[in-house]
Amino acid sequence: MGKRLLILGPPGAGKGTQAVVLCRAIGVPHVSTGEMLRDHVGRGTELGARAKAIMESGDLVPDDIVIAMVRERLGAADAACGFLLDGFPRTRAQAEALDGVLGDAGLDAVIVVEVPEDEIVERMLLRGRSDDTEDTVRTRLAVYREQTAPLISLYTERGVVRPVDGLGSVEDVLARIVGVLAS
Ligand code: ADP
């Protein structure tokens, strides 16, 4: 199976953790827009300055910013044989832009990590990242439900969605993901 992959799921589903271990296991670069944005904030770039307050509120950074970042990243040599997108696309406009970047071949698989909402809120409050207060957690879940979850139907129509149960240890979930990618 090809290795142009996307991992999707609500914030707090453990996507980021799984993305890191999965990339190591299958040898593709991890393309995380959340990490790229946090890196800009940390380095104090102009883009970081624009994104910081938006991220702290739990809202989405404007599409044009993340689309430009991803377009550039996927053009790098190490992404030519595959990649794992994490945190992008999050909106219909981002999904359309990604289609334009990838062309006809498109994504090979979309891993959807499924975790019940009560569990998510609990996990995110335990994680204690600076944008993980109870209010932002609620905002991010609502943004996910309204803007990102609809992308699952879009990719389901294309026959590339692979749902995975996100409950259990990191190793358990990784094994399930590797399993669905192999089948
Ligand atoms: P999580 O998976 O926990 O939601 P991320 O690290 O993916 O966290 O993203 C953190 C924040 O960065 C988001 O809440 C949002 O403000 C911003 N962000 C990341 N990716 C995108 C994107 N594709 N479009 C818009 N904003 C984004």
Cβ atoms within 10 Å, residue 135: 9
Domain architecture of the chain: domains with CATH = 4-173 (3.40.50.300)
What is the best residue among 31, 37, 57, 123 to mutate for testing ligand 1's pocket, by most ligand atoms within 8 Å of CB?
37
Q: Which atom of ligand 1 is nearest to the CA of 54?
A: 16
Q: 4-8 and 30-32: which strand pairing?
A: unpaired
pLDDT at 132: 82
Exposure letters 151-161 (e unless 16+ CB within 10 A, then b): beebbeeeebb
pLDDT at 91: 98
Ligand 1 centre to CA of 87 (Å) is: 6
- Which residues, listed in sequence order, are joined to residue 5 by a DSSP beta bridge? 84, 109
The parts of the chain modelled with pLDDT lower than 50 are none
